[in-house]
Amino acid sequence: MYDALVVGSGVSGLTNALLLAQAGQRVAVVERAQQCAPLLRGFERWGIQFDTGFHYAGALADGEGLQRFFNLLGLDRHVEIEPMRSSGFDRIITAAGFSYDFPVGGDEIVRSLSDKFPRERSAIRRFIDDTLQVSDHLPYINPTTPIDQLSAFDRAHDVSLTDYLAALTTNPMLRRLLSLHCLLHGIAPERVPFRFHASVIGPYFRSASTIVGGGLALANAFERCLNEAGVDLICDAEVEQILLSSNEGVEGVELSDGTVIHSQTVISTIHPHYTLNCLPDRVFRPIYRKRLSSLDESMSACVLFARCRQPLEVLRGRNLYLLSASATSPPIQQQHQQYGRGSVDEKLLYVTSANAASGSDCGGFMVIAPTTAAQFSQWCQSRLGQRPDSYNMYKQRISAQMIGQLEQSQPELIAAMDRCQLATPLTLRDYMFSPDGALYGVQHQVDQYPLQAITRIKGLYLSGQALIAPGVMGAMISGFSTCGTILGHDRLVGELKQCHQTIQ
Partner 1 sequence: MTEQQMITIINDALVEEFELDADEMQPELSIYDDLGLDSLDTVDMVIVLEGAFKFKIREEAEIKEIRTLGDIHEFVKRKLAAEVN
User: Quick check: 146 binds partner 1 (CB under 8 A)?
Assistant: no
* Nearest-approach distance from CB 161 to partner 1, in angstroms: 19
User: Quick check: 285 binds partner 1 (CB under 8 A)?
Assistant: yes
Binding piece for partner 1, criterion CB under 8 A, among 282-290, 295-303, 337-345, 425-433 = 282-290
User: Quick check: 497 binds partner 1 (CB under 8 A)?
Assistant: no
Binding piece for partner 1, criterion CB under 8 A, among 52-60, 86-94, 120-128, 446-454 = 446-454
- Selected from 43, 152, 167, 325, the binder of partner 1 by CB under 8 A is 152
- ∠217-222-223 over CA atoms, to 5°? 95
| Amino acid symbol at 69 | F
426-447 core/surface letters (b: 16 or more CB in 10 A; e: else)? bbbbbbbbbbbbbbbbbbbbbe
DSSP 233-287: EE-S--EEEEEE-TTSBEEEEEETTS-EEEBS-EEE-S-HHHHHHTS-GGGS-HH
CB 257 within 8 A of CB 52: no
- Selected from 87, 149, 151, 338, the binder of partner 1 by CB under 8 A is 151
The torsion of the CA quartet 125, 127, 129, 131, rounded to 10 degrees, works out to: -160
Q: Between the CA of residue 262 and those of 19, 240, 245, what are the distances in Å?
A: 20, 14, 11
Binding piece for partner 1, criterion CB under 8 A, among 7-15, 67-75, 120-128, 147-155 = 147-155
Bridge partners, 446 (sequence order)? none
Binding piece for partner 1, criterion CB under 8 A, among 7-15, 296-304, 325-333, 448-456 = 448-456
CA atoms within 13 A on the CB side of 103: 12
DSSP 345-371: -TTEEEEEEEEEPTT---EEEEEEEEE
* Nearest-approach distance from CB 454 to partner 1, in angstroms: 7
- Selected from 258, 287, 340, 504, the binder of partner 1 by CB under 8 A is 287
- Which of 329/455 has CB closer to partner 1? 455
Binding piece for partner 1, criterion CB under 8 A, among 84-92, 288-296, 359-367, 412-420 = 288-296
* Nearest-approach distance from CB 440 to partner 1, in angstroms: 23
Binding piece for partner 1, criterion CB under 8 A, among 266-274, 338-346, 393-401, 453-461 = 453-461
- Selected from 288, 391, 431, 433, the binder of partner 1 by CB under 8 A is 288
- Which of 18/446 has CB closer to partner 1? 446
- Which of 262/456 has CB closer to partner 1? 456
What is the total count of residues that contact partner 1 (CB under 8 A)? Answer: 16
User: Quick check: 87 binds partner 1 (CB under 8 A)?
Assistant: no
CB 177 within 8 A of CB 117: no
User: Quick check: 293 binds partner 1 (CB under 8 A)?
Assistant: no
Binding piece for partner 1, criterion CB under 8 A, among 125-133, 150-158, 231-239, 393-401 = 150-158
- Phi and psi, residue 15, nearest 5°: -65, -45
User: Quick check: 455 binds partner 1 (CB under 8 A)?
Assistant: yes
- Selected from 77, 447, 490, 494, the binder of partner 1 by CB under 8 A is 447
For the chain, first and last CA: distance in Å?
A: 40
**Which is it for the CA torsion 194, 147, 23, 487, positive or negative?**
negative
**Which is it for the CA torsion 167, 168, 170, 174, positive or negative?**
negative
- Selected from 137, 291, 419, 458, the binder of partner 1 by CB under 8 A is 291
- Which of 156/327 has CB closer to partner 1? 156
CB 193 within 8 A of CB 446: yes
Q: Between the CA of residue 70 and those of 65, 135, 151, 473, 477, what are the distances in Å?
A: 9, 18, 27, 10, 12
- Which of 274/288 has CB closer to partner 1? 288
**Distance between CA atoms of 73 and 376, rounded to whole angstroms?**
41
State whether residue 343 is helix, strand or coil. Answer: coil
User: Quick check: 384 binds partner 1 (CB under 8 A)?
Assistant: no
Bridge partners, 232 (sequence order)? 28
- Which of 49/265 has CB closer to partner 1? 265
* Nearest-approach distance from CB 154 to partner 1, in angstroms: 8
* Nearest-approach distance from CB 285 to partner 1, in angstroms: 5
* Nearest-approach distance from CB 460 to partner 1, in angstroms: 12
Q: Between the CA of residue 300 and those of 232, 264, 429, what are the distances in Å?
A: 33, 36, 9
- Which of 118/286 has CB closer to partner 1? 286
Site map 190..219 versus partner 1, x via CB under 8 A: ------------------------------
- Which of 160/405 has CB closer to partner 1? 160
- Selected from 77, 119, 157, 397, the binder of partner 1 by CB under 8 A is 157
CA atoms within 13 A on the CB side of 461: 27
Binding piece for partner 1, criterion CB under 8 A, among 16-24, 117-125, 280-288, 401-409 = 280-288
**Distance between CA atoms of 302 and 198, rounded to whole angstroms?**
25
- Which of 151/310 has CB closer to partner 1? 151
338-363 core/surface letters (b: 16 or more CB in 10 A; e: else)? eeebbbbbbbbbbbbbbbbbeeeebb
* Nearest-approach distance from CB 89 to partner 1, in angstroms: 38
User: Quick check: 107 binds partner 1 (CB under 8 A)?
Assistant: no
CB 15 within 8 A of CB 486: no
Positions touching partner 1 (CB under 8 A) are: 151-153, 157, 285-288, 290-291, 447, 449, 452, 454-456
